[in-house]
Amino acid sequence: MGENLLNGKRIVVVMPAYNAEKTLRKTYDEIPRDIVDEIILTDDKSKDNTVEIAKRLGLKVFVHDKNIGYGGNQKTCYSQALKLGADVVVMLHPDYQYPPKLITPMAALITSDIFDVVLGSRILGGKALEGGMPIYKYIANRILTLVENNMISQKLSEYHTGYRAFSKKVLLNLPILENSDDFVFDNQMLLQALYFGYRVAEITCPSVYTKESSSINFSRSVVYGLGVLSTAWKYMLQKHSFLKLPIFDSNGRKFAA
């Protein structure tokens, strides 16, 4: 792709993929290529034709030899984006749950140097249930968000969206490699950004849930919820100097510059 450079910055979209053959093309077609310089897909050992479709679309594709998990897949995404010279990295799930057209405003909030992290919140617009979010997920989202806000003294509308944009500075300075390879990675990375004082914004993000939408089952959701509470507890303990943990340690393992 050519150099588009929104506000003089290089924008890279990353898509952590697993069995996304039914929705990948639809997602790709709505990515605003006028401001996006590169699109990366990292495949976590899909069992379908995700990789073949991605290659036909001309994406930069990285394939894991074995399934390493959602968090591990994101680590590959960010590492490869940084190698391509990204100034801003936007993570977009290839299951078409989140609208690709929001890449432009999310990236612009970072390239304008107003924020360092931008979240696409499904809750802000008040239409998550209308978009098809399962009721138990909605209730769990609201409860976990309330608990986390109280534990770490923040006021986010949700901590669990998978639509996120990060500045290069954030990706290089957070100890991301200390995080889990599982689903709790998202929560750990967001709490790291808050812990180290980065500027976090939310924008309203309508979401659509279909049978092709990526989701975890109830038992995995419980494990995720417990991991979220554990991460918030660790954040709180370290903020008050009761513990020193690798995920909130400025000397923790990071991506190479």
Helix pair 218-239, 135-152: axis angle to 10 deg: 10
**What is the structure's pLDDT at 192?**
98
CATH 1.10.10.10, domain 11-248, yes or no: no
In the chain, what are the domain boundaries? 11-248
Q: Cα–chain-centroid distance for residue 38?
A: 17
How large is the average pLDDT for residues 97-112? Answer: 97
pLDDT, tens digit (0-9, with 9 covering 90-100), for 136-172: 889 999 999 999 999 999 999 999 999 999 999 999 9
Q: What is the DSSP string of 189-210?
A: HHHHHHHTT--EEEEE------
CA distance 114 to 101: 20
pLDDT, tens digit (0-9, with 9 covering 90-100), for 182-201: 999 999 999 999 999 999 99
Query: Of 11, 255, 3, which Cα lies nearest the Cα of 112?
Result: 11
**What is the structure's pLDDT at 212?**
65
The answer to whether the beta carbons of residues 73 and 16 sit under 8 Å apart is yes
Contacts of 74 (CB under 8 A, 6+ apart): 14, 16, 91, 185, 186, 189
User: Which pTM value belongs to this model?
Assistant: 0.94
pLDDT, tens digit (0-9, with 9 covering 90-100), for 1-39: 556 668 789 999 999 999 999 999 999 999 999 999 999
Query: Of 170, 14, 198, 10, which Cα lies nearest the Cα of 87?
Result: 10
Helix pair 218-239, 185-195: axis angle to 10 deg: 20
Backbone angles phi, psi at 204, to 5 degrees: -65, 130
